[in-house]
Chain A
Amino acid sequence: GNSVTQMEGPVTLSEEAFLTINCTYTATGYPSLFWYVQYPGEGLQLLLKATKADDKGSNKGFEATYRKETTSFHLEKGSVQVSDSAVYFCALSDSNGANNLFFGTGTRLTVIP
Chain B
Amino acid sequence: EAGVAQSPRYKIIEKRQSVAFWCNPISGHATLYWYQQILGQGPKLLIQFQNNGVVDDSQLPKDRFSAERLKGVDSTLKIQPAKLEDSAVYLCASSWGGGARNEQFFGPGTRLTVL
B43 engages A99 (CB within 8 Å)? no
A95: chain B residues within 8 A (beta carbon): 100
B42 engages A103 (CB within 8 Å)? yes
Chain B binding surface SS class: loop
Q: How far is the CB of B51 from chain A (nearest CB, A)?
A: 14
**Contact residues of A between 28 and 46, Cβ < 8 Å to B:** 31-32, 36, 42-46
A43 contacts which of B42, B100, B101, B108 (Cβ < 8 Å)? B108
Q: Mark B24-60, 1 if CB is under 8 A from A, else 0.
A: 0000000101010000111111001000000110000
B42 engages A98 (CB within 8 Å)? no
A109: chain B residues within 8 A (beta carbon): none
A98 engages B48 (CB within 8 Å)? yes
Asked if B91 lies at the interface with its beta carbon under 8 angstroms from chain A, I say yes
Nearest B residue to A96, CB-CB: B100
Q: How far is the CB of A12 from chain B (nearest CB, A)?
A: 18
A99: chain B residues within 8 A (beta carbon): 31, 48, 95, 97-100, 102, 104
B97: chain A residues within 8 A (beta carbon): 99
Question: Please, how many residues of chain B have a CB less than 8 angstroms from a CB on the other chain?
Answer: 30
A44 engages B106 (CB within 8 Å)? yes
Asked if A110 lies at the interface with its beta carbon under 8 angstroms from chain B, I say no
A100 engages B45 (CB within 8 Å)? yes
**Contact residues of B between 63 and 105, Cβ < 8 Å to A:** 91, 93, 95, 97-105
A–B complex contacts, Cβ < 8 Å, 22 sampled? A4-B42, A6-B42, A43-B4, A43-B91, A46-B104, A49-B103, A51-B100, A89-B43, A97-B99, A98-B48, A98-B55, A99-B31, A99-B48, A99-B95, A99-B97, A99-B104, A100-B56, A101-B45, A101-B104, A102-B45, A103-B44, A106-B42
Interface residues of B (CB under 8 A from A): 3-4, 31, 33, 35, 40-45, 48, 55-56, 91, 93, 95, 97-109
